[in-house]
Chain A
Amino acid sequence: MTVLPYLVAGWIFLIGVYGLVTSRDLIHAVGCLAVTQSSTYVLLLAVGYRNGGTAPVFADAPTDSRVVDPVVQALALTDIVVGATVTALLLALVVQLRKRHGTVDPDALSELKG
């Protein structure tokens, strides 16, 4: 249990990169990038977890209660939303590529260049 969350994060990263490397479809590749990205969230939150801690919100909890690390949560939180817009940008690039070159297969695209 002490390292399982970290190892899962590593696995998600590796499988995501594997998908990126072997992808024959850029839309699928963008999906794989989203998977790869989620590994960082798992790692960050796993680092910040504290046994028996509650969420770092004190609206109805005593101010001396034991909470998990809020800093890593803040990092992950903004990145999720920003990551979605970057995914959108990449998908827009795929749409443009399809318009200009008529394919979304990365191998076919590199063949175009000769």
Chain B
Amino acid sequence: MSARVRLWVFLVGAAGFAVLFAVACFGLPAFGTVHHPYGVRAVHASLSHHTANVIASVNFDLRAFDTLGEETILFSAVLGTVVLLRQARDEHRKDPEPAVVHPRVRRFALLMLPLALLVGLYVIAHGQVSPGGGFQGGVVAATALHLLYIAADYRALERVRPLTLYEIGEAAGEVAYVITGLAAVLAGSAFLANVLPFGTFATLSSGGTVPVLNAAVGLEVVSGVVVLLARFLDQAVEIEEPDDGSPRGAGNSGDDEDNGDDEDDERERA
């Protein structure tokens, strides 16, 4: 299909979608409506299980089985990425050259690293009490580790990041979730039912199985994101494609400049 035909097909489809969607919008309950039947029931169920953060309760108690599905997507996506980005036989590894880091940047990054890591872990641990949980805190903690890449260089990051451990951690997170579910079956209830004592409202030990499942997800997300970023960093920084014999000539100087920019951007983003 040529680009022009494709654009026309899109325009026709988009026009149809726009009209139908706009009509549907006027059929939806108005923005900010007071009537939320599901919300009210979820809040009631959450409070009856002593979970202060209703969202954590929905994710890890009411819809715990759905979250197992989500977690499995996450697990398979990370697995697929690891398989796709592994080092091929015809590629070789080249140690990246140590980069010069401005001392002020280094101090700031080293100061922020434990802080960000702590925030991430705090957010995971307090999922059942305050906004946060395994999904959000996991991403924060995993990105925090990568401040080391900004503070020092890639080799320093590799030293504090035993990748195998994180790969095991990812699988362990997934397994822990299933085991918690099966434990409920052994206790004579349904798969992933909330069988633990609900504890005192708005404390760390409240919510029954919510903190347990939350921790399992946290472990999986931390490990998953670290593994993902490690694979991408490996590909971008270390793994060299087989040299096809064409020397890097004047025509490639533009590419080199681009690469320099990318690196700067990465460091800003991270």
A–B proximity contact (CB within 8 A): yes
Q: Give me the interface of A with B, judged by CB distance under 8 Å.
A: 1-7, 10, 13-14, 17-18, 21-22, 46-51, 55-60, 63, 67-71, 73-74, 77-82, 84-86, 88-89, 91-93, 95-96, 99, 107
Interface SS of chain B: helix, strand, loop or mixed? helix
The answer to whether the Cβ of B3 comes within 8 Å of any Cβ in the partner chain is: yes
Cross-chain contact A47 with B59 (CB below 8 angstroms): no
Asked if A86 and B7 make an inter-chain contact with CB atoms under 8 angstroms apart, the answer reads: no
Per-residue CB contact flags for chain B residues 40-56 toward chain A (1 = under 8 Å, else 0) read: 00110011000011110
How many angstroms between the C-alpha atoms of A80 and B228 in the bound complex? 16
B82-93 interface bits toward A, Cβ cutoff 8 Å, 1 = contact, 0 = none: 001100100000
User: What is the CA–CA distance of A86 and B10 in the complex, to the nearest angstrom?
Assistant: 24
Residues of B within 8 A of A (CB): 3, 6-7, 10, 14, 17-18, 21-22, 25-26, 28-34, 36, 38-39, 42-43, 46-47, 52-55, 57-59, 63, 67, 70, 73-74, 77-78, 80-81, 84-85, 88, 129-131, 133, 135-136, 138-139, 202, 221, 224-225, 228, 231-232, 235, 241
Enumerate chain A residues within 8 angstroms of B136, measured Cβ to Cβ: 77, 81
Q: A88-B232, A89-B77 are in contact. Are A79 and B31 (CB under 8 A)?
A: no
> Are A22 and B84 touching (Cβ within 8 A)?
no
Question: Would you give 26 A-B contacts (Cβ < 8 Å), ordered by A?
Answer: A1-B31, A2-B31, A3-B30, A5-B31, A6-B28, A6-B31, A14-B18, A18-B14, A21-B6, A21-B7, A22-B6, A22-B7, A22-B10, A47-B28, A48-B39, A49-B31, A56-B42, A67-B43, A70-B39, A74-B59, A77-B133, A77-B136, A84-B225, A85-B74, A92-B81, A92-B85
